[in-house]
Amino acid sequence: MNKIVNKENFSENVVKLEVEAPLIARARKAGHFVIVRVWEKGERIPLTIACADEKKGTITLVVQKVGVTSTKLCDMQVGDEIVDVVGPLGKATHIEKFGTVVCAGGGVGVAPLLPIVEAMKKAGNRVITVLAARTKDLVIMEKQMREFSDEVIIMTDDGSYGKKGLVTNGVEEVILREKVDLCVTIGPAIMMKFVSLLTKKYNLPTIASLNTIMVDGTGMCGACRVTVGGKTKFVCVDGPEFDAHQVDFDEMLMRAGAYREQEKADMYKIAK
């Protein structure tokens, strides 16, 4: 059992949870994820670790209400216990001194981007972070990002905060003004697809961290398979990070909808 020790509502649908998981807090690195099951008949879903406190023995997860499990998770309170948290899973981010790194995050993808920004900075990179959201209230973790970034560019769809525009506008602005050596992007699949298309145009190597449907998270089921460079890969053990220019994002978007009908029916049950 993993107790929730802290909870912060970032917005109506986005919640930050600090959860007791001492062994994971100690072993995790930037890029790792966990599998979470919220109750005895719950499903197993993957969530990327936003940060960890080894001394307190906790990890932080940022969750957006999307489906059944994420909704139940967001509704949990401090003191509640999550029945299963297992990890850290996946391959850690490859960190080295690349030069200038642009980290582009959108939605709750900003949370798992934080440890990468931190690690890239500590490895001696110049880090420029682009945070994107629909509107001002949905911009998250700006303060923590500023701590490890040389510059933070904020993009909102409606222009209510930072600059008006999409994440791709922010990334392109940087590419046009200075030499960039690597781009790291985490966010909704559709966003990563467009970041990837943009950076491909400029031949800028780009890493995307994929979030797919998973059951076990340890390589056993193959639910998470994606096509990368024409080959089938498992996000859980081969990823979650891949060369974005090789990822078949259209297939990934299609596969993300595999259980949409069932999910709709289940959401209806929750609402009742």
Partner 1 sequence: MAEDRNVAWREELRKTIKNKERIEIPRVHMNELNAHYRARVREEVNQGLTVEQALMESKRCLDCPNPTCMTGCPVSINIPGFIKNIERENFLEAAKVLKETSALPAVCGRVCPQEKQCESKCFYKQKLGKDAVAIGYLERFAADYERESGKVSTPSIPAKNGKKVAVVGSGPAGLSFAGDMIKKGYDVTVFEALHEIGGVLKYGIPEFRLPNSIVDVEIENLSKMGVKFVKDCIIGKTLSMDDLKEQGFQGVFVASGAGLPRFMNIKGENLIGILSSNEYLTRVNLMDASDEEADTPIFKGKNVAVIGGGNTAMDSVRTALRLGAQRAMIVYRRSEDEMPARLEEVKHAKEEGVEFMTLHNPIEYVGDEKGHVCKMILQKMELGEPDASGRRSPVPVEGAIEEIEVDQVIVSVGVSPNPLIPNSVSGLEVSPKGTIVVDVFMQSSIPTIFAGGDIVRGGATVILAMGDGRAAAKSMDEYLKK
Q: For partner 1, which residue of 3, 7, 44, 163 counts as binding (CB under 8 A)?
A: 44
In sequence order, what are the beta bridge partners of 9? 15
Residue type, 124: G
Residues 6+ apart with CB under 8 A from 243: 205, 206, 207, 228, 229
Chain centroid, CA 93 distance in Å = 12
- Residue 233 near partner 1 by CB under 8 A: no
Q: For partner 1, which residue of 12, 147, 232, 243 counts as binding (CB under 8 A)?
A: 232
Q: Which is nearer to partner 1, 64 or 69 (CB)?
A: 69
Task: Annotate each residue in 157-186 with x if it binds partner 1 (CB under 8 A) or - if it does not, as one string.
Answer: ------------------------------
> What gap in Å lies between CA 37 and CA 35, rounded to an integer?
7
3-class SS at 219?
Answer: coil
Span of 102-110, 116-124, 165-173, 259-267 interacting with partner 1 by CB under 8 A: 259-267
- Residue 237 near partner 1 by CB under 8 A: yes
How far apart are CB 199 and partner 1 at their closest, in Å? 24
Task: Annotate each residue in 14-43 with x if it binds partner 1 (CB under 8 A) or - if it does not, as one string.
Answer: ---------xx--x---------x---xxx
- Residue 210 near partner 1 by CB under 8 A: no
Helices (H) and strands (E) in the chain, counts: 9, 17
> With contact defined as beta carbons under 8 Å apart, do 82 and 44 qualify?
no
Q: Select from 109, 98, 117, 97 the least CA-distant residue to 30.
A: 117
Task: Annotate each residue in 62-101 with x if it binds partner 1 (CB under 8 A) or - if it does not, as one string.
Answer: ------xx--x----------xxxxxxx------------
Q: How are beta strands 182-186 and 206-209 bridged, if at all?
A: parallel
What is the 3-class SS of 10-40, one letter each residue?
CCCCEEEEEEECHHHHHHCCCCCEEEEECCC
Q: For partner 1, which residue of 99, 124, 159, 222 counts as binding (CB under 8 A)?
A: 222
Contact residues toward partner 1 (CB under 8 A) are 23-24, 27, 37, 41-44, 68-69, 72, 83-89, 215-216, 218-223, 225-227, 231-232, 234, 237, 251, 254-255, 257-259, 262-263, 266
